[in-house]
Amino acid sequence: MKRHLSSVLLPLLLLAAAAHAQDEDANITAERARLAEAHKQAESRYKAEEKACYSKFAVNDCLTAARAQRRKTVEELRRQEIVLNDAERKRKAAERQRVQDERSASEAERQEAAKDRAGQDQGRQERATGKAASRDSQAASASAKAAQRQQELQRREADKQAAQRRRDEEAAANVKEHEKRLAEAQERKDKQQKRMAERKKPPASSLPAPP
């Protein structure tokens, strides 16, 4: 906020300084014209007094007094010119400083604008980076979840296949056990039938007596 006020007030102050410098320039120009006119009037007055001196009895004294008055007037005008020249030098120095300040203000505004743009670009870049990071994080999370689901499906399928193998092995064992029992039962039955057949078999006839 302070930088913004400064960037607004400084150009206004520089404009005011420029307007003041223009007024001073106009005043100096007018003052130079006044001094030039005063010089002309002093020369005209001296020539008139010099001419009048030649009609007087004490010519030399009159000329000396006229020259002294002219010298006094010229010296005063010269003093005023020196003051005016000094004021003009100061005004020109102030004008150069004002131009430099305007350039510095323009450069400061340019740098401030560039800084603001850089800050905005950085903010956009950071937001874009944050969004990209968020998308990458979401993608990584989704990929991790998908991999986890795939692993869970594979685990369930492996458990299912293992359970099916156990059931198949148990069924095969049951079939084998059943077949074994059937074979044992058949063997017992065959033995029993054989024993019964042997019991029902008539005894062998005795051999005839020798003659």
- Alpha-carbon gap, residue 116 to 35, rounded angstroms: 54
Q: What is the pLDDT of residue 18?
A: 54
Hey, where are the domains in the chain? 2-146
For range 92-121, the mean pLDDT? 88
pLDDT over 90 (residue 117): no
pLDDT in tens, 67-77: 999 999 999 99
Report the pLDDT value the prediction gives residue 2, as an integer from 0 to 100: 47
Cβ partners under 8 Å of residue 61, min gap 6: none
CA–CA dist 176, 121 (Å, integer): 80
Q: pTM of the predicted model, to two decimals?
A: 0.41
User: In Å, how far are 152, 170, 182, 189 from 176, measured between CA atoms?
Assistant: 35, 10, 10, 20
Whether the CB-CB separation of 100 and 87 falls below 8 Å is answered with no
Q: Are 14 and 101 in contact (CB under 8 A)?
A: yes
Positive or negative, the CA dihedral 20, 25, 29, 34 is: positive
pLDDT at 195 (0 to 100): 86
To the nearest 10°, report the CA torsion of 71, 77, 79, 82: -130
Among all chains, which residue has been given the structure tokens 């001419």?
Answer: 51
% the chain with pLDDT above 90: 22
Tens digit of pLDDT for each residue in 150-171? 999 898 988 889 899 888 888 8
